[in-house]
């Protein structure tokens, strides 16, 4: 859920690059089911035309395009494309239905997510479901948005607050909002989570399914919960991994990152001090913390040369914020930062700059789902306060965004309050969608169950080698439909030994390798 730092596997990138230009097949608009909070009329149903995806994509993957209304209140009006992929159930005799995927973001492409996950999902799940990937409206191959942004605009979407630069931040936010509005006059206000959920129901109808099952990660948990609210009778088995609190969308979720990053930072400095013989970064948590903040101050005075890319203090803070849930990775990174601050050459640090489409589609959802404060003074005051409360990241997430100058949402955000069954899985020490936000979703989905991985680290749980116990619960639910009788706490699997990797790899080599998708 952040537009700078990404952990993306080579397979996901390669598949996306190959498939995106070669999608084939179109269809008329499919009929949505109506449900509470939905005012969508029902146009005529039509089947999808599936074809090979082209390039080097395996023949087991098929592609199609679904035409959906830009404005679901006007089903006969302008149409946009939603691009789909499918891997058919491996065992037709065991087939239950379809399993849709969303890998998060908002702005992540999900078109090839099933292929990227195909080596990780248990065979029992692949036997029972057609795996359906799709790019949400405005993303990737689905009538993509563009705002005309540049690398300079995109490198840090969440900017550190400073009195001296706040006026520039305000001007930047207004300029980005204006560019997005001017380039997407007809479409921008219709790129919302509620409309993507409606598109999901059109996908369901076009596939000829009475209900859908779903696996959503991070932002995908919010999209899935909105679907349960709009179309409760169309829900089969929903797994929501690393959960967003629907009451915190969206500014409150960003501020939750800052709150939880402080807790994670404290755990990390303690761990690093206990392993001082290996890393030499300080014998006490206070020494590790002091070294880190000394490096940040040094980078603020003069950006560090990290393998040819300059990082200022804010970028150093953000980099560590992502890594501290993987203590050994963050410790190695701090050692490299110390070397760079001393003028020693270090390997290149990847910068993970988002594309124009990623930034545009991210802002469309984050700014278009809910109303944001419009007065710059609110952002100034909040950034000053949160910079003191949460020094690692509080000033950045409370600073002004283009959302301050966005058009008002086309409709109110969805209030999630239902008894639809679902399974929520969550790492205890995830600082991106922290446990407190998963508890918020659990309260909103009263028919759900929560699986918490005790001392689980990182962002994402299911099929990622985090907890065999949590995987078993989720797989059993997907294959049998049985939810646990009550919420469950699972143990995390043992982490790899601290000496299982080279002592000083490059940051790219040291980065957590658990995520086979573009995670936010």
The catalytic residues are 218, 430, 459
Separation of alpha carbons 448 and 473, rounded Å: 13
The pair of structure tokens assigned to 87 is 């891997």
Spatial CB neighbours of 271, under 8 Å, sequence gap ≥ 6: 327, 331
Separation of alpha carbons 283 and 275, rounded Å: 8
Integer CA distances (angstroms), 227 to 151, 200, 296, 332, 401, in order: 34, 8, 43, 42, 27
Separation of alpha carbons 28 and 261, rounded Å: 46
Contact 39, 197 (CB under 8 A): no
Separation of alpha carbons 188 and 173, rounded Å: 16
Separation of alpha carbons 39 and 27, rounded Å: 23
The pair of structure tokens assigned to 241 is 């991994």
> Cis omega before residue 106 (within 30°)?
yes
Task: Please count the CA atoms within 13 angstroms of the CA of 59 that sit on its side-chain side.
Answer: 0
The pair of structure tokens assigned to 328 is 């050994």
Separation of alpha carbons 232 and 329, rounded Å: 42
Reference 406, options 176, 144, 159; nearest CA is 176
Contact 461, 242 (CB under 8 A): yes
Spatial CB neighbours of 381, under 8 Å, sequence gap ≥ 6: none
Separation of alpha carbons 477 and 422, rounded Å: 9
Return the H-helix or E-strand segment holding 82: strand 79-87
Contact 30, 69 (CB under 8 A): no
Integer CA distances (angstroms), 465 to 47, 150, 241, 250, 515, in order: 37, 37, 14, 29, 10
The pair of structure tokens assigned to 498 is 């601290």
């Amino acid at each position: 859920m952040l537009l700078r730092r990404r952990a993306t596997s080579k397979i996901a990138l390669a598949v996306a690059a190959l498939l995106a230009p070669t999608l084939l097949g179109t269809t008329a608009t499919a009929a949505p089911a109506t449900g509470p909070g939905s005012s969508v009329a029902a146009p005529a149903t039509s089947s999808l035309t599936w074809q090979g995806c082209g390039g080097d994509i395996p023949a087991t993957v098929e592609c199609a395009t679904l035409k959906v209304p830009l404005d679901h209140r006007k089903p006969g009006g302008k149409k946009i494309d939603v691009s789909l992929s499918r891997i058919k159930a491996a065992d037709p005799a065991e087939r239950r239905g379809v399993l849709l995927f969303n890998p998060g973001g908002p702005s992540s492409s999900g078109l090839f997510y099933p292929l990227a996950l195909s080596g990780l999902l248990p065979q029992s799940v692949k036997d029972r479901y057609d795996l359906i990937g799709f790019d949400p409206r405005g993303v990737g191959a689905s009538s993509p948005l563009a705002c005309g942004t540049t690398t300079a605009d995109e490198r840090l979407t969440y900017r550190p607050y400073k009195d001296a630069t706040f006026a520039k931040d305000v001007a930047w936010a207004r300029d980005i909002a204006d560019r997005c509005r001017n380039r997407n006059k007809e479409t921008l206000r219709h790129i919302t989570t509620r409309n993507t959920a409606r598109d999901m129901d059109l996908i369901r109808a076009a596939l000829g399914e009475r209900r859908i099952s779903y696996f959503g990660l991070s932002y995908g948990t919010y999209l899935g919960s909105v679907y349960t609210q709009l179309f409760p009778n169309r829900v089969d088995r929903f797994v929501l991994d690393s959960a967003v609190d629907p009451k915190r969308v969206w500014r409150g979720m960003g501020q939750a990152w800052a709150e939880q990053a402080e807790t994670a930072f404290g755990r990390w400095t303690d761990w690093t001090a206990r392993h001082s013989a290996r890393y030499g970064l300080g014998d006490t948590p206070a020494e590790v913390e002091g070294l880190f903040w000394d490096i940040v101050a040094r980078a603020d005075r003069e950006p560090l040369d990290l393998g040819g890319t300059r990082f200022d203090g804010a970028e150093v803070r953000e980099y560590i914020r992502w890594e501290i849930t993987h203590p050994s990775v963050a410790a190695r990174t701090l050692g490299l930062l110390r070397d760079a601050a001393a003028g020693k050459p270090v390997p290149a640090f990847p910068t993970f700059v988002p594309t124009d489409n990623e930034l545009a589609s991210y802002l469309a959802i984050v700014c278009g789902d809910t109303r944001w404060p419009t007065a710059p003074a609110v952002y100034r005051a909040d950034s000053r306060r949160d910079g003191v409360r949460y020094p690692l990241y509080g000033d950045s997430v409370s600073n002004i965004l283009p959302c301050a100058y966005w058009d008002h949402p086309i409709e109110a955000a969805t209030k999630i309050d239902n008894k639809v069954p679902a399974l929520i899985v969550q790492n205890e020490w995830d600082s991106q969608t922290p446990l407190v936000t998963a508890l918020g979703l659990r309260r909103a989905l009263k028919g759900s169950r929560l699986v918490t991985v005790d001392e689980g680290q990182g962002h994402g749980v299911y099929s990622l080698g985090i907890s065999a116990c949590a995987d078993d619960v989720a797989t059993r639910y997907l294959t049998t439909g049985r939810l646990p009788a009550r919420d469950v706490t699972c143990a995390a699997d043992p982490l790899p030994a601290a000496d299982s990797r080279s002592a000083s790899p490059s940051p790219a080599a040291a980065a957590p390798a658990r995520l086979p998708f573009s995670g936010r």
